[in-house]
Every structure is written in structure tokens, then in C-alpha cells.
Chain A
Amino acid sequence: KNQVEQSPQSLIILEGKNCTLQCNYTVSPFSNLRWYKQDTGRGPVSLTIMTFSENTKSNGRYTATLDADTKQSSLHITASQLSDSASYICVVSSDFSGGYNKLIFGAGTRLAVHP
């Protein structure tokens, strides 16, 4: 069964600290992996997209890594800010036939950054 599992479920850190969120997937065939940020009450916003051949991608203070062999990804947030408080969702795109790629969503990690 295609699944995306994220850990931890929730996390509290102090402003200025770094943190790493984990994503394990059992999706096949694999096309690409995305990380989204979702503020409370808002729609998800894309942070990064990585294909099979990419093992790291950055977007400002956000750095995503991908190990396609172990089917694991991580999202590292550097020097956290209060505005980083949000849910972070890992999404894996599966390459179905007929040109349609299905997106499989993880349940998300809820991050709270405290002053």
C-alpha cells in the first residue's frame, strides 16, 4: 500500500534553534517528493520538489534531503523563527500510466516555535 509517514507528529522548539522533520514513504513507482508548509487555517504552500536523482534542495532556511534507496526524506529548518510555526506536509508523487501522477500526502508534523 502506498503510504507516507511523518515524524514526529508534533514538535516544540525555541526561536533560533534548528530542527529536522522526517518523512518515510512506501510509494511505488516514485516520481518526486514535495514538502509543503501549511499555516493554520490556510492552504498548503510548496517549499521544495525533489526528483529521484536529487538528494538535497534548499529554499531559504529550509533544506530538504532525499535518500531514494532507503525511501526517506527530511526537512531541516535553520535558525527557526516564530513564523515557522505551521504544519509541514511531506507529499510523494507516484508516476502512474497515462500521464497522471498521483499525490500521496503524509499527515504532517505540527511545529510550534516559542520565543
Chain B
Amino acid sequence: EAQVTQNPRYLITVTGKKLTVTCSQNMNHEYMSWYRQDPGLGLRQIYYSMNVEVTDKGDVPEGYKVSRKEKRNFPLILESPSPNQTSLYFCASSLTPGLAGEWQYFGPGTRLTVL
């Protein structure tokens, strides 16, 4: 089954404790992206990756890191989480970034709470 998986689905942590949210896709997609979703706001892009070893900042990259060492995996790293990073996070993948006819597949989401 074609899918994007994220782990963990739920995480409660404390300020400053480094964490990693994993994302994996089994569709051989080149493009992967991380978003955060906050109440009343649209999804905002954190980082994206056009291919292995190619990553770039989205609209809200501060406080986050990513890596793309393999095509299927795109982990999101919070080196020193802060309460304003409490949010719902989605990983997404597609064959190409947003071109017509290319569906984008989203993971199930990770709800992060930083105390």
C-alpha cells in the first residue's frame, strides 16, 4: 500500500530536550516536505527536499533541521524544542513538487506538545 508514515504520532516533551520525528514513504517519490498546522492557520511549510542530499528552507524553518540521506526517509529534528513549537506536524511526499497532475500524499500527522 502506498503510504507516508510518521513516528511518533503523539509526543509530549519538555523545553530543550532534543527530539526527532521520522517520516518514511514507500512510493519512490523524489520530493518530500514537512508542514506544521496550527489552529486558524493553513499548513505552513517548514523544510522541503527535492531529492537525496538536497534540502531547502520553507516558510517557517527556524528551530528545525532536516536531513535526506536516503530517498525514502526525511526526518525532522528539533534540537532544542520550545513551547511555540507545539503543533500538529505533517510529512508529505510527491513525485514532483506541486506540478499539475501530481498528487501529494500526506502522513497521518504527529501531535507535538512542548512543555
Contact = CB atoms under 8 A, between A and B. Distances in A.
Interface of A: 4, 31-32, 34, 41-46, 49, 51, 89, 93-94, 99-108
Contacts of B92: 43
B109 interface: yes
B108 A42 contact: yes
Contact of B43 (A45, A51, A105): A105
Closest 7 CB pairs of A and B: A101-B98, A43-B106, A105-B42, A93-B98, A32-B100, A105-B43, A51-B100
A106 B43 CA distance: 8
Contacts of B90: 43-44
Interface in B70-94: 90, 92
Contacts, number: 61
Q: Interface residue tally of chain B, by bracket?
A: 20 to 34
Given A49-B100, A51-B100, A102-B45, 11 more contacts: A32-B99, A42-B108, A44-B43, A45-B106, A46-B103, A89-B42, A93-B99, A101-B97, A103-B97, A105-B43, A107-B42
Interface of B: 4, 35, 40-45, 50, 90, 92, 96-104, 106-109
A43 B101 contact: no
Nearest to A93: B98
Chain A contact residues, majority secondary structure: strand
Given A45-B106, A46-B104, A103-B45, A31 B99 contact: yes
A49 B101 CA distance: 7
Contacts of A42: 108-109
